[in-house]
Amino acid sequence: MTIQTERAGATLIIRLNRPEALNALDVEAMRTLNQVLRDLRDDTTLAVGVITGTGDRAFCTGADLKKTLPPKASFAQAYFAPYEQSVEDGLYVRAITLSELNIGKPLIAAVNGHALGGGAEIALDCDLRIASESATFGLPEARWASVPAVGGVSKLLRAVPRAVAMKMILTGDRISAEEAHRVGLVSDVVPADELLPTAMKLADRITSNGPLAIKSLKALADRTQDMPLTQSVALEQLMWGVLRDTDDRVEGRTAFAERRPPEYHGR
């Protein structure tokens, strides 16, 4: 299986599993990843997703260049075709554009090695990114006479200072895990054997919080990043009002007063 999944409570661990190819994704693997993420989105018993790669060499090095050569169909044919046909006709990037799936649940990228091209874009699509000490990040598409096509340019510009992003984009150079942490691309850098346990601890901390609050925070983060400040603050107030009278919010305050862990039920 090129995409492996494992449930751990309310968390779904997703492993990109082609270590012999540095976890590069062929079209079938992209399709499978897309479906796994749809299933995560629609499964009400799951609250968080953790994406990582098999082995210690690579998180994901993007599309398999040997298996994603230009197809016979024209770009226009693929662009205006329905999803399945467009992927079949060569617009395979649609299969790994996570932001279009509207998952609505936090995603954690546990970057265990090289995150390059589409692999870096998958990491950028996640809400939290942690890295092993040997991880690297890069968008090398310019070297292969192409450009990132899954939001890599715009998302990197939002994640790190412009000068850093432009240097990475225009040169195709990689940055180390240490540099990624320094510029704010990742929140934590840990030894390789602590990477997945650290990701799972983060997931557990998230799932222990109020589930409606987590969904609301995820929605706010996604929707307000391009809004003017006044509009984003107004939406935050509206979301606060949506949660104000929920049983979980009352339980949170009651548990705090009684000095006990809260018991949330998502209502």
Within a 10 A sphere around the Cβ of 195, how many other Cβ atoms? Answer: 25
* Closest by Cα among 199, 119, 121, 112 to 158: 121
CA-to-CA distance for 217 and 214, rounded, in angstroms?
5
**Residue 20 annotated to the active site:** no
Specify whether the CB–CB gap between 142 and 118 falls below 8 A: no
List the structure tokens of 203: 């997931």
Residue 97: CB partners within 8 Å, gap ≥ 6? 125, 150, 151
Q: Which listed residue (141, 178, 194, 236) is catalytic?
A: 141
**For residue 130, which phi and psi values (nearest 5 degrees)?**
-125, 155
**Residue 194 annotated to the active site:** no
3-state secondary structure of 52: strand
Amino acid at 131: A
Q: Which listed residue (20, 28, 100, 121) is catalytic?
A: 121
Query: Where is 69: in which H helix or E strand?
Result: none
Query: Where is 142: in which H helix or E strand?
Result: none
Catalytic residues: 121, 141
